[in-house]
Amino acid sequence: MKLKIAIQKSGRLYDDSLKMLRDCGIELTNGVNKLRTDACNFPLEILFLRDDDIPQYVADRVADIGIVGENVLLEKQASVQLVQRLGFARCRLSIAVLRGEEYNSIACLRGKKIATSYPGLLQQFLDTENVQAEIHEISGSVEIAPGIGLADAICDLVSSGSTLFLNGLREVETVLKSEAVLISNEDIGAQKQEILDRLLFRINAVKKAKR
Ligand code: PRP
Ligand code: ZN
Ligand code: MG
């Protein structure tokens, strides 16, 4: 019996997700098939997937558990459990406007067009703030939208801030703070739960050692 974990196949979470497994003493075999590999000293199979798809794959039992940004978990609303916050890949989902644009309060967003890959989280935020704006969903390269006249503002993840800087954008509102989280299918069964408990024990030991 093996526990199947889904991790991001490339991007911000990839390196630190693998590092966390390595810190837990889990060694991966260097399989030729890069979409899937086994741990050689722990009953774990690793699937490399697009992060946005991971909550649904975990809900559908393609994988038992997964590592995703909390932002993706909250946007996707799949039926999965948040098992553990992992403390890496910290970032925030923010609204940004062109640097030269006048902006003094959230009311400045009224009637504006905002490009984002997180329409659900953005809509919730705008509702809470009582602001009506037009949400334009795009799946990638959101940061170029204002510069090419596709939108007045964006709502996207900010980590170092260099993507915003390089695209002449200025952060004006924080929608959500996020970090990597471990998620699980709601019913993985006793045997897999036992493997997950062993993995969690190691994750917590590593976390404590780092403090
Ligand atoms: C986010 C965001 C920016 C970048 C910001 O993408 O969309 O492209 O990170 O980081 P910075 O502030 O350090 O420049 P992410 O890595 O989540 O990839 P994805 O959108 O392709 O999933
Ligand atoms: Zn993504
Ligand atoms: Mg991106």
As for the ipTM of the complex, it is 0.92
Q: Are 69 and 55 in contact (CB under 8 A)?
A: no
Report CA(43)–ligand 1 centroid distance (Å). 32
Nearest ligand, measured from the Cα of 11: 1
pLDDT in tens, 109-138: 999 999 999 999 999 999 999 999 999 999
Q: Give the integer Cα–Cα distance in Å for 181 and 85.
A: 4
Which mutation among 163, 164, 170, 171 tests ligand 1's pocket best, with the greatest number of atoms within 8 A of CB? 163
pLDDT in tens, 57-104: 999 999 999 999 999 999 999 999 999 999 999 999 999 999 999 999
Task: List helix spans (H) across the chain.
Answer: 14-23, 54-59, 70-76, 119-128, 162-166, 190-210
Nearest ligand, measured from the Cα of 165: 1
Atom of ligand 1 nearest to the CA of 162: 14
pLDDT in tens, 184-207: 999 999 999 999 999 999 999 998
Residue nearest to atom 2 of ligand 1 (CA): 157
What is the DSSP pairing of strand 113-116 with strand 3-8? unpaired
